[in-house]
C-alpha cells in the first residue's frame, strides 16, 4: 500500500484514482472543481486544497490534466505541485503534453531533489474500467522501476520507452491514428449507406470485420448515437493532432493523413461540435456527402 497523490480528477483521472483506492492505496487528491471529486472523497480519498498540498502529502504524485498550459498551471507558482516536492519524491505525469514541455518540467522537478517520469496512457474510460489500459513510461529506468507496480494497478500493460519525453512521443504516435482510423471508418460507412445499405448494418459489418481495431469496435457505434458525455472530445483530439504535426515538422516526418484528419476536426469545431466526441467527424463527412443525420 502506497501513499499517493493525484492532481486532476476528470473522467480519466477520477477513474484512475478509483482503481488506486480499490487496490488499497492511500490517495490525496485535488481538482479545480471539488464537486467533481466528491464521489472519490466518499470512497475514502483525502482532499487537499492545492496541488502543492497534494505533493507535500504524498510520496508519489500523479497528474492528469488537459494540455501543456494546464500542466504548467498546476505545477508552477506558490500553490503549484513543484512547491510541494522534496528529496526522494516522485512525480508521474499522465497528461498528454508537448515532449519539450515535459522535459523542461522534469529538469525543474530534479532541482527539488525529486524525480519525474512522463507516463501517458492509451485507451478510453471503458478500457480503464475493464482493466485493459496500456501505459507508456519515459524517464530514468530506476525511477520507472520504483513506480512500475503502481502503474500496473492502473493498467495491465506498462512499457518503459526510454528517456524523458519519449513516452509522450510514443503516445502522440499512437493517438494520431485514432482520428485517421475514425475518418476511414466514416468513409466506409457513408459509402455503404449511399449505396443503399442501412447505416446500422454497415456499422455492424465494419465493427466485426478485419478493419475493426479496438478503437473502432467501441467508438464506431458513436456514428449512430453520440455518448451522453464525450469520451474524448474534438478539442482534445485536435490538441493531440497538432502535437503530432509539430513533432513531425521537427523530425522531418510527413504526416499527410494526420493533416487531412485534423482539417475535419477544425470543420467540426466550426460547426459547433467541439465538445462532442471526436467520432463526430462522421457528421462532418456526412454533411459533405449530402446526408443529414
pLDDT tens readout for residues 235-244:
999 999 999 9
pLDDT of 88 reads 96
Name the packing angle between helices 199-206 and 166-194 (round to 10°).
140
- 199-227: average pLDDT: 94
Cβ distance 52 to 83 under 8 Å?
yes
pLDDT tens readout for residues 257-282:
999 999 999 999 999 999 999 999 99
Long-range pairs for 14-22: beta carbons < 8 A, 24 or more residues apart: 14/39, 14/40, 15/125, 15/128, 15/129, 16/62, 16/64, 16/94, 16/128, 16/154, 17/45, 18/43, 19/128, 19/131, 19/153, 19/154, 20/150, 20/153, 20/154, 21/45
- 154-176: average pLDDT: 95
pLDDT of 39 reads 96
- 166-187: average pLDDT: 96
- 3-21: average pLDDT: 94
Q: How far apart are alpha carbons 216 and 179 in whole angstroms? A: 10
Q: How far apart are alpha carbons 146 and 60 in whole angstroms? A: 10
pLDDT tens readout for residues 195-209:
999 999 999 999 999
- 214-237: average pLDDT: 92
Q: What is the mean pLDDT of the chain?
A: 95
pLDDT of 73 reads 95
**Phi/psi of residue 185, nearest 5 degrees:** -60, -45
Percent residues over pLDDT 70 in the chain: 100
Residue 117 cell numbers, joined: 517520469
Residue 171 cell numbers, joined: 503516445
- 216-241: average pLDDT: 93
Residue 74 cell numbers, joined: 498546476
- 183-188: average pLDDT: 97
**Position 293 pLDDT exceeds 70:** no
Query: The whole model's pTM is what?
Result: 0.89
- 223-236: average pLDDT: 91
Cβ-Cβ contacts under 8 Å for 14 (sequence gap 6 or more): 36, 37, 39, 40
pLDDT of 271 reads 96
171 is catalytic: yes
**Position 216 pLDDT exceeds 90:** yes
pLDDT of 210 reads 93
Residue 150 cell numbers, joined: 503502481
pLDDT tens readout for residues 26-77:
999 999 999 999 999 999 999 999 999 999 999 999 999 989 999 999 999 9
Name the packing angle between helices 281-288 and 256-270 (round to 10°).
80
Catalytic position from the list 36, 171, 194, 239 = 171
Give the residue with greater pLDDT, 53 vs 291.
Answer: 53
Cβ distance 141 to 72 under 8 Å?
no
Percent residues over pLDDT 90 in the chain: 89
pLDDT tens readout for residues 117-134:
999 998 777 778 777 789
- 89-115: average pLDDT: 96
- List the domains of the chain with CATH numbers: 3-163 (3.40.50.720), 169-288 (1.10.1040.10)
Amino acid at each position: 500500500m502506497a501513499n499517493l497523490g493525484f492532481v486532476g480528477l476528470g473522467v480519466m483521472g477520477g477513474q484512475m484514482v478509483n482503481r488506486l483506492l480499490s487496490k488499497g492505496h492511500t490517495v490525496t487528491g485535488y481538482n479545480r472543481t471539488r464537486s467533481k471529486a466528491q464521489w472519490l472523497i466518499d470512497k475514502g480519498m483525502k482532499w487537499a486544497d492545492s496541488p502543492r498540498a497534494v505533493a507535500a502529502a504524498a510520496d508519489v504524485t500523479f497528474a492528469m490534466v488537459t494540455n501543456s498550459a494546464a500542466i504548467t498551471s498546476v505545477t508552477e507558482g506558490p500553490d503549484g505541485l513543484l512547491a510541494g516536492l522534496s528529496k526522494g519524491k516522485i512525480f508521474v505525469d499522465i497528461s498528454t503534453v508537448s515532449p519539450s514541455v515535459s522535459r523542461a518540467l522534469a529538469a525543474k522537478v530534479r532541482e527539488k531533489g525529486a524525480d519525474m517520469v512522463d507516463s501517458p496512457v492509451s485507451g478510453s474510460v471503458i478500457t480503464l474500467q475493464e482493466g485493459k489500459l496500456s501505459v507508456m513510461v519515459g524517464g530514468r529506468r530506476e525511477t520507472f522501476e520504483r513506480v512500475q507496480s503502481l502503474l500496473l494497478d492502473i493498467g495491465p500493460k506498462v512499457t518503459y520507452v526510454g528517456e524523458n519525453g519519449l513516452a509522450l512521443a510514443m503516445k502522440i504516435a499512437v493517438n494520431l491514428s485514432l482520428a485517421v482510423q475514425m475518418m476511414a471508418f466514416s468513409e466506409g460507412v457513408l459509402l455503404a449507406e449511399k449505396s443503399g445499405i442501412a447505416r446500422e448494418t454497415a456499422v455492424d459489418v465494419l465493427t466485426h470485420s478485419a478493419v475493426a481495431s479496438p478503437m473502432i469496435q467501441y467508438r464506431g457505434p458513436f456514428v449512430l448515437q453520440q455518448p451522453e458525455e464525450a469520451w474524448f472530445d474534438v478539442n482534445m483530439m485536435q490538441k493531440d493532432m497538432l502535437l503530432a504535426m509539430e513533432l513531425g515538422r521537427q523530425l522531418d516526418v510527413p504526416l499527410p493523413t494526420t493533416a487531412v484528419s485534423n482539417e475535419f476536426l477544425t470543420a467540426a469545431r466550426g460547426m459547433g461540435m467541439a465538445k462532442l466526441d471526436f467520432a463526430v467527424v462522421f457528421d462532418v463527412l456526412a454533411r459533405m456527402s449530402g446526408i443529414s443525420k
